[in-house]
Structure formats: structure tokens, C-alpha cells
Amino acid sequence: MSGLPKTDADRGSKLLRLISDHDLLALSDTVTNKMIAVGSAEEAIRAIITYSKSSEELLKRKKVHRDVIFKYLANEGIVMPVNSEKHQLVKTTLEYWSSSKICQKSPADNDHVSSNAMGDGLSDLVTLGRQFCEWFFQLWNSQNPTVEQAPQEWGPQHFWGDVRLRLRAITGEENMEEFSGADLVSLRLQALPREECLLFNPNLEPQGLRTLSSAHGLVVVAVAGTIHRAQGCLGLFEQVFGLIRSPMDNNSWKIKFIDLKIRSQNSIEGTKEMDSPELTYTSSELQLLCS
């Protein structure tokens, strides 16, 4: 019995610790067919991980309740709609565990958007855009003090020195802020999750994510999503990133510009848009940013 792969085993153990001791012992009996006697919650977790045939089988167990998976994802900085069904949470968890294996980096790599984490970059723009967003939003959301995880290393090292941020907030009226320079941009972005306790949930499906590139090495990643605080959905966002490799930093990707548009819920008509936010930028508009 080989059990789960090590990376899944580590994450599965973290998830299982959110389950009550009573349910853990019952789950251990189910998974091991009562062939393994356990005397504590930690022993039960080890038995469950060892004798589970796959991550999907583990997550679909009845004792791994929907609320447990929802809380686990929230603790990891992955925000899901509060009415998500268990099968949707299982799918997101499996995708997260899979992408984490692809994007796993040594501590020394965490200072930058690692080129290794996103392949050779331009050979598969769809993969590049998705993996960049998975990396960025996990890092960004981890700055929120209400998320039960240590904040990852945020700072100006992820940006070009002359990076530009344009932030538009549409509530009843539209407010515009602009910042330039790695230090200012880094601090302003960090304040959104850290000071305002916002969580950003990107829609990484085709209607919510688009990636384009120019002949000069600029890659534009555009993504739409929902904004949350605690259990409430506050509105929608669209965010456009410009990425360029840095030959001075192991050819890793760094952020050249960000356009962030936020719309409050009261400025949005209907609920369908909230369920599956889509990009409103056209391909031609994004191509202009590449020029």
C-alpha cells in the first residue's frame, strides 16, 4: 500500500486536522476496514493518508464534509462561493494540489515569479497565464490576516523598478489612483488584503482568463474574479498584468504594470455575473497593451 504522494499527503494531513477527532477515528476505521487500531487523532490521520488509494478518493469520503474542504481552501487563500457544492470544492482542491506540485519552488526562488515555475513561458500562453495567476493570488491572499496561514514573502522584488499600478474603484462613482515604483506599488497592493481584509478569487476558466504576448517579450495576463471579505461577496474585479523576464534575476518573470478595476456589488446588475465573472476587455484592447 503506497498511500498518497508526499505532496498530497502533506496537504491532506493539513485538511484532515480540520475534522473532529470523533470523525477522524470513524474515517480511519472506514479507510483501513478496521484492520488498523489507532489511539489518537494523529495516528488516525497517518492511517488515513497511508491507506487512501488516491487524493480524490480521500476528498470524496463522507466524513470529509463540504464545510471542512471549504475551510481548508479559505485557509490556503483560495476563496470559493459560499454556496459551492462539495464536488466543486473537491475539483478545486485537486487542481490546487496539482498546480502546487507544478509551481513548487525552493525558498530561494520565492523572491520572484520563477521562470521554472511557469515553464519556458511563451510556448504555452494559456498555461503561463493560469500558473501566474495561481501563484500571484495565493501570494496576495496570504497577506490577509483573517486567512489561517502564514503570509508568504511579499515585496518589491516581484516588480520591475518602474512598475506602474492603476487602480479604479467603481461604487456609485468612479475613483482612480495611480502609483509608480516597486515600493509604492507593492505597498498599495498589499494594503488591500492586509488592511482591508479583502480576498480575491480569480476565475481561471476560459471566459475569465486571457493571455497575450508581443514580439518584444511582454506578456499580458488579464483575469476576472470576485472580491470577498469574510463570508461576504463584495463585488467583481478585472486585473491586467504586464510581465517581462528579468535577465538580472535568473530570467524570471517580473511585473511591469498592473491595471486593477474593482466594481462593488451594488454597481452590478443581476446575479449571474457574480456567479461566473467574465472579462470585459476585448482582445484588441489587450493587444494595445502589448504594443
Q: Residue 120 above 80 pLDDT? A: no
HSE of 92 in the Cβ direction (CA atoms, 13 Å)?
25
Q: Residue 279 above 80 pLDDT? A: yes
The average confidence (pLDDT) of the chain is 84
In the prediction, which pLDDT does 101 show?
A: 43
In the prediction, which pLDDT does 19 show?
A: 93
Q: d(Cα 25, Cα 149) in Å, to the nearest integer? A: 26
In this structure, CATH architecture of domain 111-290: Roll (3.10)
pLDDT digit string, tens, across residues 152-182 = 999 999 999 999 999 999 887 889 999 999 9
pLDDT grade for 273, boundaries at 50, 70 and 90: low
In the prediction, which pLDDT does 272 show?
A: 53
Query: Is 60 strand, coil or helix?
Result: coil
| Distance (Å) of CA 285 to CA 100, 212, 258, 265 | 32, 11, 15, 25
Q: Residue 233 above 70 pLDDT? A: yes
How far is Cα of residue 133 from the mean position of the Cα atoms in its chain?
7
pLDDT digit string, tens, across residues 30-49 = 999 988 888 899 999 999 99
pLDDT digit string, tens, across residues 45-92 = 999 999 998 999 999 999 999 999 998 888 877 777 778 899 999 998
Higher pLDDT: 115 or 46? It is 46
pLDDT over 70 percentage in the chain: 86
| Distance (Å) of CA 179 to CA 26, 35, 221 | 54, 62, 19
In the prediction, which pLDDT does 274 show?
A: 65
Q: Residue 198 above 70 pLDDT? A: yes
Higher pLDDT: 137 or 99? It is 137
β-pairing, 219-229 vs 232-246, is antiparallel
pLDDT over 90 percentage in the chain: 50
Which of 90-99, 194-203, 248-257, 264-273 has maximum average pLDDT?
194-203
Mean per-residue pLDDT for 114-126? 53
Q: Residue 187 above 60 pLDDT? A: yes
Answer whether 278's CB lies under 8 Å from 272's CB: no
Mean per-residue pLDDT for 6-14? 83
**Domain spans of the chain?**
6-100, 111-290
